[in-house]
Amino acid sequence: MRRVSYFYDAEIGNYHYGQGHPMKPHRLRMTHNLVVNYGLYRRMEVFRPPRVSPATMTRFHSDDYINFLRVITPDNMQDYIRRLQRFNVGEDCPVFDGLFEFCQLYTSGSMGGAIRLNEDQADAVINWAGGMHHAKKAEASGFCYVNDCVLAILELLKNNKHHRVLYIDIGIHHGDGVEEAFYTTNRVMTVSFHKHGDCFPGTGDILDTGHAEGKGYAVNFPLNDGMDDDSYKSIFRPIIGKAVEVFAPDAVVLQCGADSLSGDRLGCFNLSIKGHADCVEFVKSFNLPTLILGGGGSTLRNVPRCWAYETAVVLGEENTIKDELPFNDYFEYFGPDLRLHLPVSNMENLNSPQELEQKKIQLLEGLREIEPVPGTAQIQTGQVESQLNPRGINMEVVDEAGTEEDMADTHPDARVTNLMLGHKEHPSDMY
């Protein structure tokens, strides 16, 4: 039986981006409530992660950016006008009460999950609060402030616990922040299936394949509106299958952005929950240590359905949970259907089979050309920028003294009990 760990902090749903903002952390509370009321928590170890330190965040992010996130509040914004512009904090990424604590919460779950995988205490770890894949080294972007995906991957690679990590992104938006961070290394392969063209962030062309030692290790499958289940499956399985074959990853990070579902407020794909979850099922079939993260998704009633179902998929319980939703604290949100699975729309699929086949062949040929099972030169991050990296990401070997101490408080070494029932605890109650 697969050992599954699940990270959740009851405080995460209390944060609010602002009136009318499409990113709603409340969806995480709704997801957890479904997980509890479906009884899925009984099959997992459930943890409330201690908060990761600011110093740990600077393994990827710049010191001045993290310090800015720590001090900025709605009350003192007027004193930081230039820095707000410099760090791209404002409209899409607003300042709200508790901003830095929010970043700590979602990042702690991802890094705590990576630690459990490193220590072989779990086969799969779920952190639906994570997956904030757009954040850059010194810039907020696309509702994301701290890039927990990058930090978790660095944790997986640390001390060669895992030699190679495969990052897979099935949100509708290109996983640009993660790709950029690892664009010049062959120890991380990034694979993103996303809407391309007139869609944020506008990156992720099929010809963007990496640079220097990372050439060939960035894989991008640009898509058009209306992507449906059958079309998605026809490209996802062959591409990921070949990536696993040639790259031979020791661990996988899977970003399950739910904005690729049919009916998403900001999305334009037409995937059903089962179609979206088929990606999770396929990745699970490789039996690799896997970190499963959330991401985008702005239709409040659909995101919890998707992630609760995918929790069941990770556990192998997808055939045992009923389509009729169990009574839960947010029952009225799911009306009038009150069912787990909803029909997709009748929107036209603008991805022709011929076009998808052509792109698939092109990417498969690229994967065949890369070095099989690439070497494992140490990868570290710090305050020295690589001269080879055109995107300014810290990939040079530098002194990382002290990082073990930084992570000492992030071990998820206490089982959560009251949390399963939705009770809020003070962190001191866990030890």
* Active site residues per annotation: 134
What backbone phi and psi angles, to 5 degrees, belong to 222?
-75, 140
Please say whether the beta carbons of 254 and 307 come within 8 A.
no
DSSP at 91: S
Give the span between the Cα atoms of 404 and 22, in whole angstroms: 37
Look at residues 213, 318, 281, 301 and name the one whose alpha carbon lies nearest to residue 31: 301
Contacts 24+ apart (CB under 8 A), 385-393: 386/184, 388/184, 388/211, 388/212, 389/183, 389/184, 389/211, 389/212, 390/211, 391/180, 391/183, 392/137, 393/137, 393/180, 393/181, 393/182, 393/183, 393/184
Across-strand partners of 220?
192
Give the span between the Cα atoms of 112 and 143, in whole angstroms: 22
Look at residues 206, 217, 210 and name the one whose alpha carbon lies nearest to residue 360: 206
Q: Which residue has the tokens 């410099």?
A: 86
Give the span between the Cα atoms of 282 and 274, in whole angstroms: 12
What backbone phi and psi angles, to 5 degrees, belong to 241?
-60, -45
End-to-end CA distance of the chain: 28
Please say whether the beta carbons of 24 and 294 come within 8 A.
no
DSSP at 206: T
Token pair belonging to 234: 């026809």
Across-strand partners of 46?
6
